[in-house]
Structure 1
Amino acid sequence: MQKGLLFIMILLMVSCKSEKKDFKKLQGSAFGTTYSITYHNNINQDFSKQIDSIIYVMNKSLSTYMPNSDISKINDGDESILIDANFNEVFEKSDRIFKQTNGFFDPTVGPLVNAWGFGPEKAINNLSTEQVDSLMQFVGFDKVKTENGAIVKATPEIYFDFNAIAKGFGIDLIGRFLESKGCEHYLIELGGEIRARGSNKDGNYWKVAIEDPNSDGSRSFSKITVLENQSMASSGNYRKFKIDDNGRKFVHTINPTTGYAVESDLLSATVISKLDCADVDAYATAFMAMGLEQSKVFLEKHSELDAHLIYTDASGEIKTFTTKNLRLTLLD
């Protein structure tokens, strides 16, 4: 009886001790921003070098800011490039979401991103209606396809820009790597996009904050939510925009259906789902171009997505819309 009681006590002690997990934290830079990775590994391994390798491979494949990357070579007209598995997966996700959103998510909008001054190529000053119309002939994900491992473009001028999905995809690759190493509990944050699995050191699901749409350069957070094996991505035009000499505001989210860098009524869109982070990254960008009403209609048809949308009404007042299954609480 005493031996049995002692065994139970030891088991309870081990169980209680395992509830408080030892987590490792890594921080660094990637894709033009910073990352923070918190994960639990039974033998406390440091995966810094492996994660650096993942980031390098991603950039080599999909970075428009690297002249020797595959995407840069393809954009320059090199038809001999055979795309790797990463490029192919991002391409296929983009094709699916392009079709789902009726073209509001479109990574071939690159020529206009550059023209409006938000890409790696030279901007066009005082972009005219005629110039926008001319560039629009090179926009449309239905004008590209993969064939025998290579990209086929309807016209050489088509320019890919996967920045609205690549950051989330990079997070997914890191997450998949951690899972392959037995990490069931982790949180990856890269430039505000997040992928969370399992629980934190206290055994609770991960709590994350949603950023307020401050246009003065400051950062604040007033709402938090809980991620239960989910991904979260936010998109907004409150921080990355330009004002021309005439006082007109141009935002970095280009509407692929019109070609213009004019903001919709949405200030920010946060999307949460059990899907990959790449998916929610793309949907958040699409919503910014769609605007409030079309985004609400889309969300009604896609119950796999939850969203928190911050917008301005007709009188200029800031308001919010939150899908019914998304639980938000005010930050203390």
Structure 2
Amino acid sequence: MKAPFLLLLVFIPAFGQGQVGASSGEQMMSLTGEAQGTTYHIKYRDERKRSFQKEMDSLLADIDKSLSIYRPDSEISQFNRSMSHRFMSPHFYAVLKKSAEVFRDTKGAFDPTVLPLVEAYGFGPTKRPKGAFVNVDSLLQYVGFQYISFDSVSVVKQKANIRLDFNSIAQGYSVDQVAALLEAQNIHQYMVEIGGEVRTKGQKNDGQPWAIGIENPLHPAKLQTKLTLTNRAMTTAGNYRNRYEANGQVFSHIINPKTGEMEQSSLLSVTVFAEDAITADGYDTAFFVMGLEAVKQFLITRKDMDVYILYSDDAGRLKTFSTNGLKNL
């Protein structure tokens, strides 16, 4: 699964293991752990004080076994080695279906077949020497979600050597699945965070909304702003953590699937707010590739999402853009 290359979200108050007291006199369950190559923090109010850690760990392991390109035995790895695959779990189809939506709506700015380029630039499970020459033209022939066809039963490649990588969307899906697990237990006050992707419902025990901090990309140890998050999800894409420098060039994990080139725009981080985490997670990287002006135009007709974008001007100063839906948060 996606490595924790971004930790743009700082949760207030700090997490702990077990039960945490609240000003109302009630207690909130707080669970922390590791899964999918990152960490998770989950808080929820349950009058019965039940712990669902085993169930959550099992669920996250099942998703990992389906969608992780770092596991040779996963469903997605099996498909990447073949021309077709019959779904073994509901996770593959669910994420594939959402990926098709985001690919279509962003006109290819989000494309989960970008794995050959990701690996060529030194990211992903297959490590290449840092700074090695990348023949973009030769690799672009193996990038194109239009070569993938699927239904609710199976997925097929229309062209050999096309491979899928859900790292830029699967963690948001995992957040939603943990939230669904809690709601199935009649829990309606919670905060779920996995690898920096977060979703909340209801309020904390003291009647206050969940407070979320967004990191300053020019000073990563500091917060740029704090927002409240109620009955919504938020995820962030950025290019200033998962990167390296070689031969005088900066290599970033965010790659434009249309050109095959690493993004070198003025954008530093894009945080997307949506009803569910898979939507936010799917669009955050696409928005990064699209650029500020294209995102502004896109969101004119997409009132279901908000964005908070941090970018640098020509003088290197940090600038912000946020949609109207965030003004009161």
TM-score of the aligned structures, taking structure 2 as reference length: 0.89
Number of matched pairs: 307
Unaligned runs of 5+ in 1: 1-16
Opposite residue 52 of structure 1, the aligned amino acid is D
Residue 91 (str. 1) matches residue 92 (str. 2):
no
CA deviation after TM superposition for structure 1 residue 273, in Å: 1.8
Is 1:241–2:243 an aligned residue pair? yes
User: Given residue 270 of structure 1, which amino acid in structure 2 is its aligned partner?
Assistant: T
CA distance in 2, matches of 1:197, 1:307: 19
1:153 aligns with 2:157: yes
Partner of 1:225: 227
More strand by share: 2
Q: Which one of the candidate residues 166, 179, 182 is aligned to 2:183?
A: 179
Cα deviations across residues 178-228 of structure 1 (Å, max 9, x unaligned)? 00001100001111110000110101221111111147xx42213111112
Residue 211 of structure 2 is aligned to residue 207 of structure 1 = yes
1:6 alignment counterpart: none
Letter aligned with residue 321 of structure 2 = F
Larger-Rg structure = 1
How much does 1:262 deviate? Answer: 3.0
Q: Say yes or no: does 1:255 pair with 2:256.
A: yes
Q: Offset of 1:250 from its aligned partner?
A: 1.5
1:139: which partner in 2?
143
Maintained 8 Å contact 2:83/2:160: no
Distance in 2 (CA, whole Å) between partners of 1:304 and 1:102 is: 18
Cα distance between partner residues in 1 of 2:88 and 2:237: 28
CA contact (8 A) 1:214 1:239 kept: no
Q: How does 1:4-153 map to 2 (within 5 A)?
A: 20-77=25-82, 79-123=84-128, 126-128=132-134, 131-147=135-151, 149-153=153-157
2:293 corresponds to: 293
C-alpha distance in 2, partners of 1:117/1:300? Answer: 36
* Percent identity between the two aligned chains: 39
Structure 2 equivalent of residue 307 of structure 1: 307
Deviations 1:152-200 (A, max 9, x none): 1112211111000001110100000000001100001111110000110
Superposed CA offset, 1:40-93 (max 9, x none): 112110101000111110011000011100001111116344242111110010
Report how far residue 19 of structure 1 moved.
5.3
SS in 2 for 1:118: coil
Report which stretch shifted further, 145-154 or 25-34. Answer: 145-154
- Which deviates more from structure 2 when the two are superposed, residues 155-164 or residues 138-147? 138-147
> Which protein, 1 or 2, shows the higher relative CO under an 8 Å CA cutoff with sep ≥ 6?
2
SS of aligned partner of 2:281: helix
**Which residue is equivalent to 2:319?**
319
Letter in 1 for 2:272: V
Q: 1:306 to 1:73 in 2, by over 3 A?
A: same
Letter of the aligned partner of 2:327 in structure 1?
Answer: R
Equivalent of 1:163 in 162, 167, 174 = 167
The answer on whether the counterparts of 1:224 and 1:328 sit within 8 Å (CA) in structure 2 is no
Letter in 2 for 1:195: R
TM-score (norm 1): 0.88
User: Whose helix fraction is larger, Structure 1's or Structure 2's?
Assistant: 1
Q: Name stretches of at least 5 consecutive residues in structure 2 with no aligned partner.
A: 1-21
Query: CA separation in 1, counterparts of 2:122 and 2:97?
Result: 27
Contact 1:73–1:81 at 8 Å: present in 2 too?
no
Contact 2:41/2:194, CA 8 A, preserved across alignment: yes
In 2, Cα distance between equivalents of 1:78 and 1:52:
31
Per-residue CA shift, 1:266-324, capped at 9, x if unaligned? 100011122x1011011111111111111111122211111110111233322111111
